[in-house]
């Protein structure tokens, strides 16, 4: 392939990669973005003029588009790829399963739309010198503005709120629960009457429609996804996007880096070159690319690579509410955080974890029969989150990725289990859950540190001993966010892009 000339190659188009790429092109750098997933067929992407689009899973053929690949240490080669245009990627392992997705726009298509800063307002302080809350403040502001984040208001007249459903039960504290969630949605200007609108970048999108903005994607664009919120303006400023390009390895060469990618359009291998590379493939994928590249001798050794990997305390359950009076799937993707009214429900000194409640996919999106449809409509999912010990280890064994993680070493899981049990008792409706935690918010593995002795990247995301190579996603986070992390990942991506551009962008001659 004739590689396009680039100052920077960005790998992965999720929260970290999209925010970083936009920052780089705004500074005048020539950037190529490699994404293993396809463009999704949504109203905004159509209005961008993208012709090759893959459908979001929907209707009778939905199950075929649901899964991209499954990774497990016992599978041949460690991975089974089912459908290169599939939505979700699942890594099953001992102690922790990891779920992510593959699209231009990364996890923004499947996430629940929660745009929140870390529960600890001093989260960035004290990690390493040169990084603190003040340093990241402008990046958060830019990202919130692009996501059009705002809290639901009483005037929005949303269906199935926690207050509406639990306000009469004195065991629950619902005061403010419906208005505390920053969400990356375009709320209808006239409540209950969503319209087709145009964004400041000239993109068409629908205002949010209850039941249409969930974890199987937002076909109308009511949920703000990165493809049109970050990548479209970046393309207007010169970004080149190569979809269905999966990076296998990176190697240091005289003039920078060589990136080897499988082009899933034609099945061939492409090699691209650039003086600088930003990895933002989503925590576990970023760690995998680094491990494979080091193992192949392409990158200088990183002694701490794979260490301090965790799952953000994520622990999911199904709340069998049997609320047959309502269709709970016809809601916004998240309802609010569930809290009990009594002080210290888990006992003194045992903090109540963050427990978000949200809608399951509406049955018309999935052909799953009447029994499952009932479960989707009349129950909800609950997601416990909090700081885990982030003490897992990711390694490669004969080319297979392995996570060693021991949930019993993190007390957050016992607290969430106890909270689920209490919520079930107080509501009279049980929460069912798996025993092994499933995370959609992995962190760590290529952590920020002071040097090669205690980390993999520095305060600007640059990999120690591999100048010009950067990590712009949550693989760099040395501790769990303890809540929904995407806005923090995007702010980090923006920060990495800003610092890289400040050091390396050349003023462009006016032509």
Ligand X SMILES: Cc1cc2nc3c(=O)[nH]c(=O)nc-3n(C[C@H](O)[C@H](O)[C@H](O)COP(=O)(O)OP(=O)(O)OC[C@H]3O[C@@H](n4cnc5c(N)ncnc54)[C@H](O)[C@@H]3O)c2cc1C
Binding site for ligand X (CB under 6 A): 11-17, 34-37, 99-100, 102-103, 106-107, 110-114, 215, 246-247, 280-283, 285, 289, 440-441, 473-474, 484-486, 489
Q: Are 505 and 29 in contact (CB under 8 A)?
A: yes
Least CB distance to ligand X at residue 25 (A): 17
Q: For residue 21, what are the contacts with CB-CB under 8 A and spacing of at least 6?
A: 10, 13, 31, 33, 230, 231, 234, 239, 278, 497
Least CB distance to ligand X at residue 346 (A): 24
Nearer to ligand X among residue 15 and residue 39 (C-beta): 15
Least CB distance to ligand X at residue 441 (A): 5
Q: Are 395 and 306 in contact (CB under 8 A)?
A: yes
At 325, phi and psi to the nearest 5? -75, -15
Give the C-alpha separation, 30 to 408, whole Å: 47
Listed in order, strand segments (DSSP E) in 254-333 are: 256-263, 268-274, 276-279, 309-310, 315-319
The secondary structure of residue 51, as a DSSP letter, is: -
Least CB distance to ligand X at residue 360 (A): 10
Nearer to ligand X among residue 34 and residue 426 (C-beta): 34
Least CB distance to ligand X at residue 315 (A): 14
In angstroms, what CA-CA distances link 186 with 153, 360, 486? 13, 20, 18
The secondary structure of residue 486, as a DSSP letter, is: H
Nearer to ligand X among residue 386 and residue 484 (C-beta): 484
Nearer to ligand X among residue 10 and residue 419 (C-beta): 10
Least CB distance to ligand X at residue 502 (A): 22
Least CB distance to ligand X at residue 341 (A): 25
Nearer to ligand X among residue 268 and residue 508 (C-beta): 268
In angstroms, what CA-CA distances link 307 with 116, 284, 313, 445? 26, 12, 17, 5
Nearer to ligand X among residue 410 and residue 443 (C-beta): 443
Nearer to ligand X among residue 104 and residue 127 (C-beta): 104
Which helix (H) or strand (E) segment holds residue 295: the answer is helix 283-295
Least CB distance to ligand X at residue 452 (A): 23
Q: What is residue 202's three-state secondary structure?
A: coil
Nearer to ligand X among residue 15 and residue 405 (C-beta): 15
Query: If DSSP states are collapsed to H, E and C, what string results for 337-375?
Result: ECCECCCCCCCCCCCCCEEEEECCCCHHHCCCHHHHHHH
What Rg, from alpha-carbon coordinates, does the chain have?
Answer: 22
Q: What is residue 131's three-state secondary structure?
A: coil
């Amino acid at each position: 392939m004739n590689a396009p000339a680039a100052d920077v190659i960005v790998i992965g188009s999720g929260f970290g990669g999209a925010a970083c790429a936009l920052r780089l092109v705004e500074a005048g750098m020539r950037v190529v973005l490699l994404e293993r997933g396809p463009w999704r067929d949504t109203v905004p992407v159509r209005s961008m003029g993208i012709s090759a689009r893959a459908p979001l899973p929907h209707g009778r053929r939905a199950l075929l588009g649901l899964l991209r690949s499954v990774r497990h240490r016992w599978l041949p080669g460690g991975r089974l790829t089912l459908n290169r245009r599939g939505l979700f990627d699942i890594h099953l392992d001992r102690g922790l399963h990891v779920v992510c997705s593959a699209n231009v726009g990364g996890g923004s298509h499947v996430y629940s739309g929660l745009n929140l800063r870390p529960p600890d307002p001093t989260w960035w302080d004290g990690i390493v010198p040169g990084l603190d809350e003040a340093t990241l403040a402008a990046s958060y502001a830019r990202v919130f503005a692009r996501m059009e984040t705002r809290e639901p208001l009483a005037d929005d007249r949303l269906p199935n709120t926690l207050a509406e459903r639990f306000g009469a039960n004195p065991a629950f504290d619902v005061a403010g629960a419906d208005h505390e969630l920053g969400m990356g949605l375009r709320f209808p200007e006239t409540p209950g009457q969503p319209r087709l609108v145009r964004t400041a970048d000239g993109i068409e999108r629908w205002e949010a429609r209850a039941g249409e903005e969930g974890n199987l994607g937002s076909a109308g664009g009511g949920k703000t996804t990165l493809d049109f919120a970050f990548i479209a303006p970046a393309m207007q400023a010169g970004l080149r996007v190569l979809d269905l390009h999966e990076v296998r390895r990176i190697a240091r060469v005289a003039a920078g880096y060589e990136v080897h990618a499988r082009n899933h359009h034609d099945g061939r291998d492409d090699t691209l070159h650039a003086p600088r590379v930003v990895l933002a493939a989503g925590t576990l994928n970023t760690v995998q690319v680094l491990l494979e590249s080091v193992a192949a001798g392409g990158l200088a050794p990183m002694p701490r690579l794979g260490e301090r990997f965790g799952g953000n305390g994520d622990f999911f359950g199904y709340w069998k509410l049997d609320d047959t009076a309502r269709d709970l799937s016809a809601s916004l993707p998240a309802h609010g955080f569930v809290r009990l009214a009594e002080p210290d429900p888990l006992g003194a000194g045992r903090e109540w974890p963050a427990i978000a409640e949200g809608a399951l996919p509406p049955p018309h999106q999935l052909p799953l029969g009447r029994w499952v449809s009932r479960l989707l409509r009349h129950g909800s999912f609950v997601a416990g989150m909090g700081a885990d010990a982030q003490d897992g280890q990711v390694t490669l064994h004969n080319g297979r990725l392995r996570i060693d993680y021991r949930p019993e070493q993190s007390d957050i899981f016992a607290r969430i289990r106890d909270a689920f049990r209490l919520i079930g008792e107080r509501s009279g409706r049980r929460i069912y859950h798996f025993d092994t935690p499933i995370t959609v918010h992995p962190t760590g593995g290529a952590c920020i540190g002071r040097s090669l002795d205690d980390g993999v990247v520095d305060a600007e995301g640059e990999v120690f001993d591999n100048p010009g190579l950067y990590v712009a996603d949550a693989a760099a986070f040395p501790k769990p966010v303890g809540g929904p992390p995407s806005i923090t990942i995007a702010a980090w991506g923006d920060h990495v892009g800003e610092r890289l551009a400040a050091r390396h962008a050349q003023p462009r001659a006016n032509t």
